[in-house]
Amino acid sequence: MQQLLQTFQDLYGTSARLYHAPGRVNLIGEHTDYNDGFVMPAAIGFFTWVAAAPRADRRLVIHSANFEEQVEFDLDVIATPARQHWTDYVYGVAVTLEHHGYRLRGANMLIRGEVPIGAGLSSSAAIEVATGYALLDTAGYTIDPIELATLCQRAESDYVGLRCGIMDQFISCCGRRGHAVLLDCRSLGYRLLPLPEEARLVICNTMVKHSLASGEYNQRRTECEAGVQHLRQFLPEVQALRDVSLAELKRYGRDLPEVIYRRCHHVISENERVLVSANALDQDDFITFGQLMNESHRSLRDDYEVSCAELDLLVQLASEIEGVYGARMTGGGFGGCTINLVKAENVRAFEQVVAQEYQRRTGYTPEIYVCSAADGAERV
């Protein structure tokens, strides 16, 4: 990353500090975070890098190495609304930090992202967290990773407009090398789960992103809220779908519209799968873990309806390959990536077969990443 610091020097004429924050893959627990449920993500070795140095005024000068574009904001001018541009993430985080009492300094920034964009690997959380970290450090604040995660999530939800849960920002802040994290999205309590050497996490990128993603995402949230509202007539203590069991859904959900029932069924069953799969991982029981991944995919496809033909194809191809314990879509859905748990010795063959068959059937060349879990955001 010497190169980035050199470019910074060329652009702004001073030296800078360097920060980075990772993207993530979610092993299991999809669309559960905003239902106060459980997730099991790991940070991955793709980062967004930020070089930053303070300025004497309150301007943010933000240069993107990816888009070769530079934009300026004044922190003292009334907030500009989001404009569907990459700077929304940076500016949204700055505004949110200020709103929560952090008085920032102006800064010159240079950003380079290596998390594939729009691939469901949380390039947005990576840019939010990396810039949030850089802005706080530049202004002389010490960083509490969980608070940073919460404020970045708020920026995405309130400023960018995707009503996301906490998973992506949390893992980008708190990821740990060699580990997945079992996170309780209500209490934000978490447990590190060591990842095995004998089974590898392999990410396959469909290379497609269907445009309905963010509208559908917010709609799923509304549907879950409708489910909660209905169930509260019978179970007044219920705050979120996290508090409902499958037996209770069956009993009290009879009058729910069929679609809402299925949405609730996904979330409630997925929460159970996460907890069972964490125990399976503790015991190196990859067979059980893989079966739960497969069930998770079916539930996301049929009950939650956030998969797509390309994701289903990748999962189906994986299921026919030797040494694959399980496969599922990962992230929000409607394109992006699958996550596969593959016996180490079969990874090479897996990559070849998937790449060849997926290309033959769709015309797209999938990108395949064999990943190891990385640490969360830090000053480098």
What is the total count of residues that contact ligand GLA (CB under 6 A)?
10
- Least distance in Å: CB of 275 to ligand GLA? 16
Residue 37 or 253 with smaller CB distance to ligand GLA: 37
Q: Which is nearer to ligand GLA, 88 or 168 (CB)?
A: 168
> 150 pairs with which residues across the strands?
none
**What's the rounded Cα separation, in Å, for the pair 340 and 286?**
11
Least Å distance, CB 187 to ligand GLA, is 17
**Residue choice 104, 111, 152, 164 for contact with ligand GLA (CB under 6 A):** 164
Residue 162: other Cβ atoms inside 10 A:
16
Distance CA 38, CA 43 (A): 16
Q: Footprint of ligand GLA on residues 6-45 (CB under 6 A)?
A: 30-31, 33-34
How open is the CA angle 228-232-236, to the nearest 5 degrees?
A: 135
User: Which residues form the catalytic set?
Assistant: 168
106 vs 332, which CB is nearer to ligand GLA? 332
- Cβ atoms 175, 376 nearer than 8 A: yes
Give the pairing type, strands 190-194 and 179-184.
antiparallel
* Binding span for ligand GLA by CB under 6 A among 136-144, 160-168, 208-216, 246-254: 160-168
Residue 35 or residue 138: which is nearer to ligand GLA going by CB? 35
Q: Is 273 in the site for ligand GLA (CB under 6 A)?
A: no
Minimum gap (Å) between residue 173 Cβ and ligand GLA: 13
For the residues of 166-185, what is the DSSP string, one character each?
SHHHHHHHH--TTEEEEEET
Measured CA to CA, the distance from residue 317 to residue 336 in angstroms comes to 16
Beta bridge partners of 70: 63
Burial per residue of 209-225, b for 16 or more beta-carbon CB atoms within 10 angstroms, e otherwise: beeebeeebeebbebbe
Compute the distance between CA of residue 41 and CA of residue 71 in angstroms, rounded to an integer. Answer: 33
The one among 37, 332, 335, 376 contacting ligand GLA by CB under 6 A: 332
Tell me how far apart the alpha carbons of residues 91 and 61 are, in angstroms, rounded to a whole number: 10
Site string for ligand GLA, 39-78 (x = CB under 6 A): ----------------------------------------
Query: Would you say 62 or 267 has its CB closer to ligand GLA?
Result: 267
Q: Would you state the structure tokens that stand for residue 262, as one six-digit string?
A: 């299925």
Q: Does 168 participate in binding ligand GLA (rule CB under 6 A)?
A: yes
337 interacts with ligand GLA by CB under 6 A: no
Interacting residue with ligand GLA among 167, 181, 244, 373 (CB under 6 A): 167
By CB under 6 A, name the one of 92, 106, 331, 376 that touches ligand GLA: 331
Q: Which positions lie near ligand GLA, rule CB under 6 A?
A: 30-31, 33-34, 164-165, 167-168, 331-332
